[in-house]
Amino acid sequence: MKKNWWKILSFLLLAYTIIAGFLLDVPHLPILNETIRNLYFHVCMWFGMMILFSISFVYSINYLRGFNYRNDIFATNFAAVGSLFGILGYLTGVLWVNVTWITDQNQSLGSVLKEPKLIGAAIALLIYGAYFVLRGSFNDIDKRARISAVYNIFAFAMLFPSIWIIPRIVGSLHPGSPGSDSGNPALDKKDLDDAMRIVFYPAVIGWTLLGVWIATIKIRIDIIKNKNIINE
Amino acid sequence: MNKLFILFSGLFFSMRVNAQNNVEMADVMRSNGKIYTVVAVCLTILIGLFIYVFTIDRKVSRLEKENSTK
């Protein structure tokens, strides 16, 4: 039980996120209205995804350093849960777009589809999708692990440019683009209300820990399955 | 028959009076636009999810034990 404290912490943080996230007062802004609370859910999916992909990236490097098959299992499963979070982020974003940009901000569907952050996130998710296609196309375990580890490093190198840097350069409907008055939302002192900060950061940690928990379960199953080829 | 009718109509009437008087008795779930109901629903889902993940975790632990003793 001592090793499981972070699983309980994850539950407590998420319970806090739901209770405080729905009940505490939030800034009253036009167009956003109460949907500003999506920050605790939609945005946390993306933050969790980035953290999980980063963990996967580290394990891929570790795999290439010693060719320990264990690291390959870790890298794949963290990437898998990261992709799940990304897909959930996308789906929740679709709901949010409907009631803010499209209906209340009178954006045309065309301008929403041209939104660089949506395209960037789609590219990033597709790159990670190709990672799993690549893995599935090898029969040789060693070759699969090596090539997919190298690919994972390239995929990670594309992740931040496509979801952060390019949208910031070309302008985006998301906060933080040139033209809007926000600099670095979520992190900058002046762009996120302090009342939201006390829920947002615990929420990010809670969702990420849940992702890590699911990933570790998948990893343990894979380790049991491949017991004969893992040399410890 | 008539008495029963009077009794039921009396009950019905008293209920309507209650509704008109808008009696709220410690009704947390209906306050503030029923937002507490949303919170309760989400918490239920969260608790259910965590119990589910926890049982999977336990199952894998058991599998690990069986595998290591073999």
Partner-chain contact B35 A224, CB within 8 Å: no
Question: Which of B31, B32, B56 should we substitute to test contact with A (largest number of A Cβ atoms within 10 Å)?
Answer: B56
Task: Tell whether A133 lies on the interface with B, counting CB pairs under 8 A.
Answer: no
Q: What is the pLDDT of residue A87?
A: 95
Model confidence pLDDT, tens digit, residues B27-70 = 777 777 788 888 888 999 999 999 999 999 999 999 989 888 76
Model confidence pLDDT, tens digit, residues A27-57 = 888 788 888 899 899 999 999 999 999 999 9
- Domain range annotation of chain B: 2-69
Q: Return the CA Rg of chain A.
A: 19
Are A215 and A9 a contacting pair, CB within 8 Å? no
List the Cα angle A214/A36/A190 in 5-degree steps.
100
Q: Return the CA Rg of chain B.
A: 26
Partner-chain contact A14 B46, CB within 8 Å: yes
List the Cα angle A73/A78/A79 in 5-degree steps.
100
Closest-CA residue of A relative to B37 is A22
**For chain A, what is the mean pLDDT?**
88
Instruction: Fill in the amino acid letter for B19.
Output: A
**Is the pLDDT confidence value at B10 over 70?**
no
The token pair that represents A12 in the structure block: 């407590």
Q: What is the pLDDT of residue B22?
A: 66
Residues (pLDDT < 70) of chain A are: 1-2, 176-191, 231-232
Task: Tell whether B12 lies on the interface with A, counting CB pairs under 8 A.
Answer: no
Instruction: Fill in the amino acid letter for B56.
Output: I
